[in-house]
Structure 1
Amino acid sequence: MVRKLYLHAGAHRTGTSSFQLCLAANRQQLESDGYDLAYPGRDGAPEGHLHLRLPKPSHGEDQHGAFVGKVTRALKKHVSGEDQPLVLSEENLLGLIIHFFSGRLYPARRKRLRVFRDGLEAVGAEAEHILLIVRPYDELFVSGFRKHAEDNAVEPFETHAEAMTTFRGGWPEAVKALQNVLKPKSMTVVEYGARGTSSELLVRLLGAEAGAYVEPDYDLNVSATDAALEHLQGIYHAGKVLEREGWQAVIAQYAEHGEDRGFARFSEAQSETLATRYRDDLARIGSMEGVTLIT
């Protein structure tokens, strides 16, 4: 029997952590309904133990088999029975945030997805439905930069702004990669502003009845203010390192200092360029066969 995969493919800065928290909040119900669950715990989602090792752009095809072995071992920890359907959420499936800043949106997407596909095949799974949330490019890149700056030293946003404005790849390319490599029976793409609650997204993913799942009662991610990010960058550029608990304490300390200090901002012209491209790309996605676009 084929094991059906219901895949929430993220992506970054689109509410993925909240969705994974929703999976945790509904674990008992989902398991009672016959689903296995797999999601990471990097942002604190309870019982999040998924750890997929996927290739970066620098990895060659000769390393494909080794990565497949790692992914297969990771997936086997989350499946039970021979045909139990699997609900999996992973924002890093397509790639990493770091590549945004050099003007590339998920450059290793096909390489990573091929590894993931072969790992799925090893555990008898095939993609039934894929859910992807897409966000306007200017918001995506600003939010990604700010998130990265929470625990890494970064150069000023202006250093990367032009490369991000003229970036390679895009949401249509990500959608096509998911379709062409994983070959899902169906795919839903939801525009960030229309995503609704995490429990509503879970209903969309599984084709369940409205109201079938509860909404988690707290949020994992508290956004850092400009003041917090400036303070953190001072620490990092002085050569110091903070563990998660340390930088989160700084974020909490400056939570009330919410004034806009221009830490990460595109110019008006750059924002308009990215907005135009996003509108055009949504239109491209809307015309793709096998894709339902929610805006």
Structure 2
Amino acid sequence: MAMGVKLPVMTRPVHIHAGAHRTGTSSFQLCLAENAPVLDRHGIDAVYPGRDGVPGGRLRLNLPRPRHGAKRVPEFAEEVRAHLARLSPGLDRGLVISEENIPGPMRHFYQGRFYPASAMRLAALAQAVGRPRHVVLVLRPYDALYVSAYRKRAEDNLVPPFADLVPKFMGMDRGWPELVVEFRDILRPEQLTVIDFARRGSSVALLRRLVPEVAGEDLKEPEQVVNLSATDAGLAHLQARFRAGEVLDRKVWQVVIAEFRSDTTVSGFAEFSDVDQDLLRARYARDLARIATLEGVELI
């Protein structure tokens, strides 16, 4: 689209599932694919990426990164508007957006930064879609989040030893409450639901919560399991190959993960000490208590 040609801000109902990372997002997106006919009957389109082979995944949200200044937010917003209009051109239809990278990628955790570009990214999304009807954000405890994020990145990247990153994780610059406030104040959704991962429930339950219009429908829970985590043995093998200078494409490292799936020996590839784990869990409990006091936020 030519620069300077602006699309109107969306006025149709928009429901946003914003992850977060490592909370079953791929399974939820598979649920959207399975129940697309039901959503369609209600005049709702669902858009999501296809990172784990989820059918129909075509969403590619290009949002600001830390290096981009706030002045470029309108440029990104315009691109997002155009992209969503191509994926779902019927402006009289509702829209479900599911994307865990809305606040940003996980790799900044390694620098002790908790989604450093989230404010710019949310501002661009807000300018693109207008005021969402409902936003759902699922939160994971910090210790499990950081371990899972590290293990996920280790599948296809050479990573430093986990112990070297522990000081960054323990000294993280901020956490979930600050991010939740940004979602509330920048996106200004009519309804903002924050869910503790332990209370997430099934993907069907999450869909019914996000889109009340389909709550009474006979929805299908996905049978396929996606985004299975690699074992310690599989990750150690992959890291040895990365250290040796190999570059593995997605198909290759997925085969490796499958080959080592039966070796469930726990070698301590990524784990916190008991003391650090307790500290992170205590911080998460305090932060949930803070979120519970936030006006305009429903915490489950």
Give runs of aligned pairs for residues 6-45 of structure 1, distance below 5 A: 6-45=15-54
Deviation at 1:28, TM superposition (A): 1.2
Note the alpha carbon deviations across 1:233-267, whole angstroms, 9 max, x for none. 01111111111100000000000110110000111
Q: Is the 8 A contact 1:21 1:46 kept in 2?
A: yes
SS in 2 for 1:77: helix
Note the alpha carbon deviations across 1:96-147, whole angstroms, 9 max, x for none. 11011111111111110111111214xxxx3001111000000000000000
Deviation at 1:210, TM superposition (A): 5.2
Alignment match of 2:58 (pick from 49, 52, 69): 49
Deviation at 1:75, TM superposition (A): 1.1
Note the alpha carbon deviations across 1:83-107, whole angstroms, 9 max, x for none. 3111110000011110111111111
Q: Is the 8 A contact 2:11 2:129 kept in 1?
A: no
Alignment match of 1:218 (pick from 217, 224, 228): 224
Q: Is the 8 A contact 2:104 2:121 kept in 1?
A: yes
* Corresponding position of 1:239: 245
SS in 1 for 2:133: strand
SS in 2 for 1:3: coil
Q: Is the 8 A contact 2:74 2:127 kept in 1?
A: no
State whether structure 2 residue 180 is matched by structure 1 residue 175: yes
Take 1:76 and 1:129, find their aligned partners in 2: how far apart are those partners? 19
How many positions carry a matched residue from both structures?
A: 290
* Corresponding position of 1:4: 13
Alignment match of 2:209 (pick from 204, 213, 228): 204
Q: TM-score, normalised by structure 2?
A: 0.94
Q: TM-score, normalised by structure 1?
A: 0.95
* Corresponding position of 1:187: 192
Q: Is the 8 A contact 1:107 1:169 kept in 2?
A: no
State whether structure 2 residue 164 is matched by structure 1 residue 159: yes
Take 1:66 and 1:289, find their aligned partners in 2: how far apart are those partners? 31
Q: Is the 8 A contact 1:10 1:90 kept in 2?
A: yes
Take 1:188 and 1:67, find their aligned partners in 2: how far apart are those partners? 26
Deviation at 1:284, TM superposition (A): 0.8
* Corresponding position of 1:260: 266
Deviation at 1:223, TM superposition (A): 1.0
Take 2:20 and 2:209, find their aligned partners in 1: how far apart are those partners? 16
Structure 1 residue runs of 4 or more that deviate by more than 6 Å after TM superposition = none
Provide the alpha-carbon RMSD of the alignment: 1.3
Q: Is the 8 A contact 1:150 1:247 kept in 2?
A: yes
Take 1:257 and 1:59, find their aligned partners in 2: how far apart are those partners? 43
Give the unaligned 5+ runs of structure 1: none
